[in-house]
Structure 1
Amino acid sequence: MMKIDAHQHFWRYDAAAYPWMSADMQVLKRDWLPDDLRPLLEVQRIDACIAVQARASEAETDFLLMLATQYPWIAGVVGWIDLRAGDIEHRLARWLEAPALAGFRHQIQDEADVAAFVGDARFRRGLRLLQRQQLTYDILVFAHQIEAIVPLCRDMDQHWLVLDHLGKPRVRARDHDEWRRAVTPLAAMPHVLCKVSGLVTEAMDAAGELHSDDLRQYLDTALELFGPSRLMFGSDWPVCLLATSYARTAALIESWSARLARAERDALWCGTAQRAYSIG
């Protein structure tokens, strides 16, 4: 079985470029590059990864696509583009021939008014263009913002949308029932996929203890709502290091998914990501 890490990041650290890295994120404040990740993938027998943007800059897209040309195991790139730009067709055109280009993302979670942002006619025009080009769009929101993106997801059904990090439930606060109600409408949309990623940082308490039992409740619900063919594994490395190691991040999902049938595990660890990001 091939295995894909469908969500991780690379960067050359620059404080001004990554303002979201707060004072308590010192472990992230350095360069994190493919040579740092490759040994971790090999230990876990993971064959390939999807590199996802971590800052709102078209230079980020160029940087990740450049890395993908140097490291063939970077199977896809989820870059950044200003979907509201009046000349978005021109901006997008220069990347369309890049073999690794798989999709785009924006840190919607950081917008002051998520409903207004995703309801903007310019944003929707840009997203429709991506879908016509068969490019996937990753959606990054907090759990309390999910309701605001439901109309967008319902309208944008011409290609895959991917909910990152299960919609960032507040595992520490045990908001399971509230999160379940929020995410259920998305699960009813066949074109919306979901990443089993970014959860260890949400499950770590103030004392630095990782509550993996609490986390499994969210995983079980995601499996129930979306099914294995619409879930994909992602480590969120190196952000996961805020809570635990890459090995433990992968092991948690390995342990949880061991009860699944072989075809279901194949979907979680490879097939869904291949379908979502057109990886051969």
Structure 2
Amino acid sequence: MRKIDSHQHFWQYEAAAFPWISPGMAVLAQDRDPDDLAPILQATGVAGTIAVQARTEAAETDYLLDLAAHHDSIVGVVGWADLASPTLATQLERWSQQPKLRGFRHILQDEPDVAQVVNNPAFRRGVAELQQRGLVYDVLVFAHQMPLVIDFCKAHDAHWLVLDHLGKPPLKQPEQMPQWAQSLKALAALPHVVCKLSGLVTEAAWPFAGGLPTHVQQTVWDCFDQALEAFGPQRLLFGSDWPVCELAAPYPAVHTLARTWAATRLSETEQAAFWSGNATRCYQLNIS
């Protein structure tokens, strides 16, 4: 069964370029490149990955596309651009001959006013421009911000939108979980929104404590179950969130967590969709 990791990162670490890597994240404060990930992919049987932006600068897109041009394991790139810029169309045209550029993301979760960003007419025009070009937009928000993007997602239905990390459920604040579940269902009601089962180990078990306790695994699986009920098996994607996942668990543990869940919840056909088919369809990956 082909496996595609729909969400991972590469970087050449510079503190100023990665303000979200705090002093408590020492494991991330180092270079991470395809040669670091290659043996892990081989060991877990993952055939390819989608490299997702981690820096809020246009140079990030060029950096990831250059890596993709030299590494067959990178089957897609989700880059960054100023989507509210009046020169966005020109930038996109410059990248139009890059077959592995499959989408863009803005780190909405770090914005002090998410509503102001997603309701900005210029930003909305930018996302519409992406969709007209068949490019995906990845939605990255915390659970408490999810209600602020529902209308935005409704308005942009010309192509796929991808919810990263299940909207980051507040696993360490269980009293807030019902609101997350409600927002998840609202986004899942939009047929053009898909969901990455990624990033949950860091929501549940950071800092790393030498392994994932049984109760943490069950908590993650419970979230996966809610995503399955909401989105169905044809709109769920596997993602590792490597190397960020290493704050809580190594890649093989994240892979095993997903594999165990999928094997007990999904048919063989549905597992094939989860592991690669859905990502291939939504990101329009050109893989043989």
Q: TM-score, normalised by structure 2?
A: 0.95
Match of 2:283 among 259, 277, 280: 277
Deviation at 1:172, TM superposition (A): 2.3
Aligned residues: CA RMSD: 1.1
- Aligned-partner residue type, residue 16 of structure 1: A
Instruction: Sort the Cα spacing of 1:88 and 1:140 in 2 relative to 1 into closer, same or farther, 3 A.
Output: same
Query: Where in structure 2 are the equivalents of 1:227-266 lying within 5 Å?
Result: 227-259=232-264, 260-266=266-272
**Equivalent residue, structure 1, for 2:78:** 78
Asked if the contact 2:240–2:254 (Cα under 8 Å) also holds between the matched residues in 1, the reply is yes
Name stretches of at least 5 consecutive residues in structure 1 with no aligned partner: none
- Aligned-partner residue type, residue 262 of structure 1: E
How many equivalent residue pairs?
280
Q: Which whole-Å CA distance do the structure 2 matches of 1:74 and 1:6 have between them?
A: 10
**Equivalent residue, structure 2, for 1:13:** 13
Deviates more, 1:68-77 or 1:196-205: 196-205
Partner of 1:36, secondary structure, is helix
Deviates more, 1:59-68 or 1:166-175: 166-175
1:221 aligns with 2:226: yes
Asked if the contact 2:208–2:247 (Cα under 8 Å) also holds between the matched residues in 1, the reply is no
Runs of at least 4 residues off by over 6 Å? none
**Equivalent residue, structure 2, for 1:166:** 166
Partner of 1:255, secondary structure, is helix
Deviation at 1:131, TM superposition (A): 0.3
Partner of 2:15, secondary structure, is coil
Residues 224-252 of structure 1: CA deviation (Å, up to 9, x unaligned): 00011100000000000000110001000
Deviation at 1:129, TM superposition (A): 0.3
- Aligned-partner residue type, residue 28 of structure 1: L
**Equivalent residue, structure 2, for 1:203:** 204
**Equivalent residue, structure 1, for 2:30:** 30
Deviation at 1:176, TM superposition (A): 3.0
Query: Where in structure 2 are the equivalents of 1:172-211 lying within 5 Å?
Result: 172-174=172-174, 175-204=176-205, 208=209, 210=212, 211=216
Residues 39-92 of structure 1: CA deviation (Å, up to 9, x unaligned): 101001000000000011110000000000000110000000100101111111
Name stretches of at least 5 consecutive residues in structure 2 with no aligned partner: none
**Equivalent residue, structure 1, for 2:154:** 154
- Aligned-partner residue type, residue 138 of structure 2: D
Give the % identical residues.
50
Q: Which whole-Å CA distance do the structure 1 matches of 2:229 and 2:183 have between them?
A: 15
Q: TM-score, normalised by structure 1?
A: 0.98
Q: Which whole-Å CA distance do the structure 1 matches of 2:231 and 2:108 have between them?
A: 22
Asked if the contact 1:6–1:234 (Cα under 8 Å) also holds between the matched residues in 2, the reply is yes
